[in-house]
């Protein structure tokens, strides 16, 4: 492994661990835990490649410190989950970026995740339907093995044909990937909520529709939603040992 490669890994580790500390200090423990784990693995890769004994000792000390903190956070989060008191809030500022579905949901998508419930009254218009499609694609790409998605939404009274046609096409497409889409409509639904069967509950003030309209088809953020500006909204995350059943 070349020196430049080692330096690159070290830079990446510092960046990820710096983010872990920032999240830790702001009380976003589940997200910080994911960053600590990723950063520690990067530092361990650097340690394997370094030959100088003094540097190896430095890296070992750093890794131990981060591992100890990660274990403390893990124990704290597990206790809150056990007591049913876990609550975390993420504030997405107006025009903020870096909040793609992958970035937002990844910390809560463990290997145990197999079933998802989405309650959102606004999966109706074209851009909202595309948002739901992106959410489904994220689940398909994740390391967990989601087998079923339940969607509860409201019907578009102005043009229900486009909505029903789009969701029927998505249902068929997901089925070809081994994933079942259970679709139901409600005329009284108002609240927005996403539940994972591993116990996590994510409530987004604007539901999945928190991205701003792109500024042009060839503008930054048109394709990569980590670069797309967002509307201001709050995300509340809870954990319960009791999940929905059919």
The pLDDT assigned to 243 comes to: 53
Task: Tokens 């589940």: give the residue.
Answer: 30
Q: What is the pLDDT of residues 92-132, one digit of tens each?
A: 999 999 999 999 999 999 888 999 999 999 999 999 999 99
Beta-bridged to residue 118, according to DSSP, are: 151, 194
Q: What is the pLDDT of residues 13-46, one digit of tens each?
A: 999 999 999 999 988 898 999 999 999 999 999 9
Domains of the chain in start order, with CATH, are 3-83 (1.20.58.80), 87-239 (3.30.870.30)
The pLDDT assigned to 244 comes to: 52
Residues 6 or more apart whose Cβ sits within 8 Å of residue 213: 127
The pLDDT assigned to 245 comes to: 47
The predicted model scores a pTM of: 0.77
Q: What is the mean pLDDT of the chain?
A: 92
Q: Which of the 8 DSSP states describes residue 158?
A: S
Cα–Cα distance measured from residue 139 to residue 148, given in angstroms and rounded to the nearest whole number: 10
Is 173 in contact with 93 (CB distance < 8 Å)? Answer: no
Rounded average pLDDT over 57-67: 93
| Most distant CA pair in the chain, distance | 70
- Entry field: residues in the chain: 246
pLDDT of residue 143 exceeding 90:
no
Its sign, for the CA torsion 37, 39, 40, 41, is positive
């Amino acid at each position: 492994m070349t020196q430049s490669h080692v330096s690159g890994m070290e830079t990446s580790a510092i960046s990820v661990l710096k983010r872990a500390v920032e999240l830790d200090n702001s009380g976003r423990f589940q997200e910080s835990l994911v960053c600590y784990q990723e950063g520690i693995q990067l530092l361990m890769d650097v340690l394997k490649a370094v030959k100088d004994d003094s540097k190896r000792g430095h890296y070992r000390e750093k890794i131990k410190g981060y591992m100890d903190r990660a274990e403390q956070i893990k124990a704290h989060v597990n206790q809150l989950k056990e007591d049913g008191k876990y609550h975390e809030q993420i504030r997405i500022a107006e025009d903020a970026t870096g909040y793609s579905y992958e970035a937002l949901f990844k910390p809560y998508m463990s290997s145990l995740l197999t079933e998802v419930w989405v309650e959102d009254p606004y999966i109706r218009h074209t851009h909202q339907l595309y948002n739901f499609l992106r959410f489904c694609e994220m689940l398909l790409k994740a390391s967990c093995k989601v087998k079923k998605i339940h969607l509860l939404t409201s019907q578009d009274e102005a043009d229900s044909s486009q909505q029903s046609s789009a969701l029927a096409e998505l249902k068929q497409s997901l089925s070809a990937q081994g994933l079942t889409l259970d679709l139901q409509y409600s005329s009284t639904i108002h609240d927005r909520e996403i539940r994972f069967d591993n116990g996590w509950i994510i409530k987004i003030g604007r539901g999945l529709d928190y991205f701003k309209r792109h500024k042009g088809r060839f503008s930054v953020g048109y394709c990569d939603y980590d670069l797309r500006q967002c509307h201001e909204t709050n995300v509340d995350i809870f954990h319960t040992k009791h999940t929905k059943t059919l």
